[in-house]
Structure 1
C-alpha cells in the first residue's frame, strides 16, 4: 500500500507520508516503494505517477539546497577575503614593531653578508641569478635596498663561468655585471673561459672587468687562446691585487702567449697559484714579496724561482716533468728562512732545501721512493726545523711509516690521505691502523705515543675498515702513555657504519675532539691539508654528517 502524495511543509512537494518538518528520504522496509527501490521490478502503471512526484519533489528540494549552498559559499568567500585583508593589515602593523626597524644599517649589512652563496654555488649556477643574494635583497623594501647598495662587500665577488651549455651572451648580462662593479669597492674576480662557447662575449666581459682592475684584490682566471693576450694591458694597472690563480683550458691556450709579465709590477701580490696542466708557460712574478707559492712546473723552473722568494711562509711545489729522482738536479741548497708549511710532489727535492722554520710538511709518495726515511732524516738534520705535522699522500708501506714516526719523534700530527689506488691494490691503510692500535693499554710499547692528532682522509671511493679505525682511535684515547687528543675522518663517498658512529660518539662524549666530514666538504678539507688553493676544486654538491 502506498500513501497518496501530500505537500511537504518545508518545500511544498507532494509526499505519500504525513506532513513532516523536513524532507525524509528514509523508506520503511516492507512497503511497495521499498521493494521498487531495492529491486529491478517494473512499476505498475498506477505507481508511475507516484515515483514521478517523488523525483519532482526531490528536484525542488535539491534546488533549494543548491541555492542555500551558493549563498553560504558567497558568505564564506566574503569572510575569507575579509580575513585575508585583516591578516595583511595585522602583519603590516606588526612590522612597525619589528626589531629590524631599530637595527643599525651596518648590523643589517653584516647579516646580509651571511646570506651570500658559496663560491661553489656561484660557479655551479653559471649565470647571474637575480633571485639569489645579493640581488634579491634589493627587492624586499626600500630600506633593505639602500643598505644592500651601500654595503660594497656584498658585491665584491664577481663569478663568471662560461663552462656551460647556456649561451655566453645571455648568462651574464653586461648591465647587471656593470651594476655589481659600480656597487663594490675592492673586487674578487673569478672568471672561467671556455673554448667551446662563443669567445666574443668572453672577451668583452674580461675587458669590462679589466676597466676596474685597479680595484682587483683577487683574480682567478682560466684562460682561452683568445683571452690570454688580454693580460698584457693589465701591467701597472693592478696595484691592489693580492691573490692570483691562473690555469688554462687547453694546450693551445698556453702556447697562445710566449710569456706573461703583467704581474711583475703588482706591488701588493703575495699569494700566487699557477696550474700548468698541459705545458709550462713562463709567468714573471714579484718573487721577492710572495708569502705563498703554488706552482706546477718542471723542477729546474722551481729551482730558478724559489731562491728569489725569501719571504715565503707557505709553498706547494708540484713537479710536472722529470719525476724520476735520477733526473732531478739537486745541486746546491735553497734556503727559505720563513717557510712554515710545505708540500712537495717529489720527496727528493727536499735534498736541496734548507727550511729552519718549517712546521708542517706534506708529501706525495711514489712507488719508486725507497729511501724515504733517509731523505727525511737528512732534511731534518740540515734544516734543524721544528717539524710537528706530517701529511702523506699515497703513503709508503707500514714498516717505513712506523720507522718515520719513530725517528721523527717531534711529529705530533699525522695526516694520511688515502687514494683509490691504495684501497684497491693494497691493505696498507688497514695494516697501518692495526700498527697504530694499542693492544695493551698499560704497555709502553705503543707506536708513536707522542701523536696528539690523527687525521685520515679517504678520497673518492677509497675503502677503509671503520671498525679498525674505531679500535685504533679508542685504544690510543684510553692508553695511559698516548697523547691523542683529536681525530679527524674525511670520507668523500662512504661514511662510517652506525656501529662505528655510535662508538665514536661515545669517545666524543668522553672528551675526544672529533670531526667527521663527508662529501665535497671532505674534499675541501683534504685540499686544505695539501695547501692547494680552494678555487681549484669547485663542485656542485656536498654533505656533512656530525655525531
Structure 2
C-alpha cells in the first residue's frame, strides 16, 4: 500500500495449459487496499466528490475495468478448458463403458438361456392391461436392444407363436392392432396359438379384416381361442377343412344377444388334430359339432343329454369337466353306465350325474355342487363300487364335515383332499371339517390337504394351524403338502402366520396365497380351462 493513500497492484501468475509452466501476467487491481479515510467516506456515504476526488475515483474505476476485463478473459479461457475436459471425460467414459460391456456376463449367456429369459417377458393372457401387439411390448421390445438379441428372438419361433387380438377390452379401439405388424409376426413362427376376441361395441369391419389376415395362415394354427359375436359367426365358415393342425379349441360368447338366432356351429368337424375342447356357453346353449371320437380333454357347459351323447363317443377321453346346465326337461332315465375307460380326471357340477358313468381308471375327481346339493355320499360310493377305480385325489366345494369324514373313511386309497369354500354361509361347516381333521386318526393316509376360499373368508385360521400341527406330529405322519388360499376377507393373524412358517421350516410343503394369485391357483384345482384372461 502506498504511504500517500494511493493504491497498489499484485502480480498475476498464470499456468500454461500446454506445458504447465507459470508466467507473469499483468498486474491485477487489488480492491482490498485502503485508499485513505476520504475515499472510505465517499464509498460508504452519499457525499459528492470534489473535482480532485472525482478524477481520483475515475482512475480507480478505469483500473478496475482493466482488471475485470482480464478476469473475464481468464474465466472464458477456464470455461473453454472445462468444456473441453468435460467432452474428453464423456468420450473416455463412453469408451470405458463400451469396453466394460465386452466383459458383461450378458454377452456370454448362451442363446438357449436368452430364449428362456425372453419367454418370461411375454404378456400374460390373464392380465388384460398387458395384452397387445405394439413395438413397445415383448417380443418386439427385445428385438430393439441389440443385434444379437434381435437375432436370437427372431430365431425363436415360440416367442412369436401366440397372437392375441382382444377387442372387448375397455381401453382398446378397433385400430389398436396393426395388420402389418401381425403379418410380420406371422413370418417368424411355423405354428400359431390364436386368441381372437371380437367386440359387438366396435366397428366390425376392422375386426373382420384382422381375422382374414390370420386366416391366411390357418393351416399352421395349433390352438384357437374365440370370443364370438353375432357378426363373427358367419365368418367361421372359412375354417371348415382349413384347420388341420388345431389341437386345442376354446369358444365363448360376448353376450346373450350374440347367441340368439345361432342354431349350431358346424365348422370344426373336420379338424383332424383336435383333441382338447372347451366351450363356455354361459347364456344359452348353442350346439357345436365336433370330432368327439378323437377328444382326450373336454370342458363344456351344456344339458346332461348333450353331455351323454358326446361322452358315449369318446373312447380316448383322459380328462373331462362336465358342467350341466340349460336343462328344461327331467334328466334321462338311467339305463346303463357309459364306460369311460381311459378317464383319469373328472370334474362334475352335479353329484347325481355320477350314476351315468363307469370310470375304472379315475384317479382325480372334483364335485362342484356346493352346500345346497343333495347328499353326495350315495352317488359317490356308487361310483366307487361300480368302477373299482384307484381314486387318490378328491376336490369338494363347501362340503359338510359329516359327509367328508364318511367319504374319507370309505376311500383308503385317497391321499389328496382339496376343499373349496365358495359360500360365506357354509363357513361353520368348513370350520367343523377342519376340527374333524384335527384328529389324525381320521384319514391318516392323507399326504395333501388344500383349503381355498373363493369368497370372503371366515375360516378359523388358528384351528387350521392346529389341524396341521396335529397331523404333522402324529405317529407315522403322512402329511407332506398343505395349502391355504384366500381370495378376500380377513387374513390370518401374525401368530398364526408365524406358526405356519414354522411348519414350513420343519419340512411341510406349504403354499400360502391371497388375492388374485390365490384365485389363479384355485382355478386349476377343478380342471377348468384357462385360455381366456
CA 1:533–1:80: 2 relative to 1, 3 Å: farther
User: What 5-or-longer segments of structure 1 have no aligned partner?
Assistant: 20-30, 439-444, 539-547
- 2:16 maps to none
TM-score (norm 1): 0.83
- 1:337 maps to 341
SS at match of 1:534: coil
Matches within 5 A, 1:196-275: 196-275=201-280
Which entry has the higher C-alpha Rg, 1 or 2?
Answer: 2
Is 1:330–1:349's contact at 8 Å kept on the other side of the alignment? no
How far off its partner does 1:178 sit? 0.6
Rounded Cα–Cα distance in structure 2 between residues aligned with 1:384 and 1:4: 123
How far off its partner does 1:340 sit? 0.6
- 2:436 maps to 435
- 1:442 maps to none
Rounded Cα–Cα distance in structure 2 between residues aligned with 1:78 and 1:466: 69
How far off its partner does 1:16 sit? 6.4
Pick one of 127, 137, 143 that aligns with 2:142.
Answer: 137
RMSD: 3.4
Pick one of 350, 353, 368 that aligns with 2:354.
Answer: 350
User: What 5-or-longer segments of structure 2 have no aligned partner?
Assistant: 12-27
Pick one of 400, 418, 429 that aligns with 1:415.
Answer: 418
Is 1:330–1:352's contact at 8 Å kept on the other side of the alignment? no
- 1:451 maps to 446
- 1:530 maps to 526
- 2:22 maps to none
- 1:84 maps to 90
How far off its partner does 1:318 sit? 0.5
Rounded Cα–Cα distance in structure 1 between residues aligned with 2:444 and 2:78: 82
Rounded Cα–Cα distance in structure 1 between residues aligned with 2:461 and 2:71: 71
Rounded Cα–Cα distance in structure 1 between residues aligned with 2:109 and 2:400: 60
Is 1:271–1:292's contact at 8 Å kept on the other side of the alignment? yes
SS at match of 1:177: helix
Rounded Cα–Cα distance in structure 2 between residues aligned with 1:491 and 1:157: 31
CA 1:487–1:102: 2 relative to 1, 3 Å: closer
SS at match of 2:210: helix
Pick one of 350, 363, 383 that aligns with 1:359.
Answer: 363
Pick one of 156, 162, 166 that aligns with 2:161.
Answer: 156
How far off its partner does 1:365 sit? 2.4
How far off its partner does 1:205 sit? 1.1
CA 1:84–1:454: 2 relative to 1, 3 Å: same
How far off its partner does 1:77 sit? 3.7
Matches within 5 A, 1:534-545: 534-536=530-532, 538=533
How far off its partner does 1:321 sit? 2.8
Q: Deviations over 1:309-335 (max 9, x none)?
A: 111110000012349xx9333512111
Is 2:421–2:455's contact at 8 Å kept on the other side of the alignment? no
Matches within 5 A, 1:106-145: 108-121=114-127, 123-145=128-150
Matches within 5 A, 1:455-494: 455-493=450-488
Q: How many equivalent residue pairs?
A: 506
Q: Note if 1:406 corresponds to 2:409.
A: yes
TM-score (norm 2): 0.85
